[in-house]
Structures are given as C-alpha cells and as structure tokens.
Amino acid sequence: MAAADFLVTLAIFLALSSSFCYAYDVDPLQDFCVAVADNLTAVFVNGKICKNPKQVTPDDFLASGFNIPGNTNNSLGFATNMADANRIPGLNTLGLTVLRVDFAPNGVVPPHTHPRSTEIIVLLEGTLYAGFVTSNPRDNTKNRLFAKILKPGDVFVFPIGLVHFLRNVGNTKAMGIVAFNSQNPGVITIANSVFGTEPLISPEVLTKSFQLDKKVIDYLQSRF
C-alpha cells in the first residue's frame, strides 16, 4: 500500500508541476531563435519558427524609433510603440515585449488586463496616476485598489492578470517605457470586452450584472 500511495502522490505532483511549467513563456533551448516572417510559413506554432542560425544578422536584434513620440490625437489620448517578436525577430522565445507609451494631458489607458504577463513601467516624463485592482476576495469584501502617483524615475509593477490603468494627471505630456515578461502578453480592455463584442452580449445579462437600465446598456454598447 505504501508503494501505491507513493506512486499516486508522485503522479499528482508531476501533473501539477507540468501545469506550473506552462504558466509563463517557456525557456529558450538555444542561444536564440530568430523568427521567420509569418507570410513565409504555413505552420502555426506557439511562438514563431526559427530562422537558420547561419542566416541571422545583427539587424534581427534591433528596432529603431523609440525616440519618436506617438500620435496621441485620439479619444483616449495615448499611443504605444511596441517592440515584440514581429518587429525584433530575435526576441522570439525570449519571453519579452517592450513598448513606449505616450500620453497627452488627461490621456488614459483604460482598465484592462494582460492574461499572460506581468507589466512594469518606468516613467521618464510627466506625472501618471497608475493602479491595479486585486481579484475578488473570498470573504466577499471589496476588491482592493493599489495606486500611486508616478513621477519621472519611478517604476511601478502591475501583477499578471490583474485589472490596471494609467492616467496622465499632469498639465504636460507624459512618456514611459513598459516591459512584459511574455512574447505575447495579450490585452483585454474591460469596456470593449463587455460592451463591444460581436455579436453583442445579451442586454439582459448586462442589465442584471451591472444593475443598470436597459437604455443605459444600449447606449454603452452603441459607444463600443
């Protein structure tokens, strides 16, 4: 019986261990795996197919233009400039994405989540109000908000999967550099995912969930 119990325990441990291993991007198994352009392949993989190492050049590890401000002339007042494996093929399999984010005065990155990555921002210009909200507590108390006013030189972390936001609270533009510990962090903007789906979520679901009149739900859905 002892041997049987040990084997059952070992099987459970291995099953759990395998699930933990895939919680984040897998570690690279070679020096680099420079991505082949998607339009040159007919194979879908979790990541990108590697270029022949003998054909790799320094340009495969370079992106330029992060010194150029983004166009923030839009309804939210922010713009991003992303460097991922599509732009820097040498990032393939390295579990990293970097972007520059620019804010107009009062610009907002609305509440959203990244299902596959933790996010960290280094503020270089301006003043931002940044925060994230915890997952639902088991004791039915309110979700906690962790928020700070960021100034140039400040670094702030948004834990993986949690709803978070950024707003420029200064009178001038703001700019920061953001990094994700994933090749493909993903993004789920809360308002779009609730009110802007195709087809639309049934208004009966949303009126009950948000305790709002159907006319309000109809208006919100029309905005997204």
**Pairing between β-strand 128-133 and β-strand 145-150 as defined by DSSP bridges:** antiparallel
Burial class of residue 75, CB neighbours in 10 A (0-12, 13-18, 19+): exposed
Burial class of residue 108, CB neighbours in 10 A (0-12, 13-18, 19+): middle
- Tell me if residue 162 falls in helix, strand or coil: coil
Nearest-Å Rg of the Cα atoms of the chain is 22
Q: Give the Cα separation of 60 and 217 in Å (integer).
A: 47
Q: Contact at 8 Å (CB) between 162 and 154? A: no
Query: Look-up: residue for tokens 């330029």?
Result: 64
Q: Which two tokens stand for residue 13?
A: 């441990």
Query: Does 125 carry a binding-site annotation?
Result: no
| Helices vs strands, H then E, count in the chain | 4, 10
Q: Give the Cα separation of 19 and 87 in Å (integer).
A: 30
Query: Does 204 carry a binding-site annotation?
Result: no
- Residue numbers in the known binding site are 112, 114, 119, 164
- Residue numbers in the known binding site for oxalate are 114, 119
- Residue numbers in the known binding site for Mn(2+) are 112, 114, 119, 164
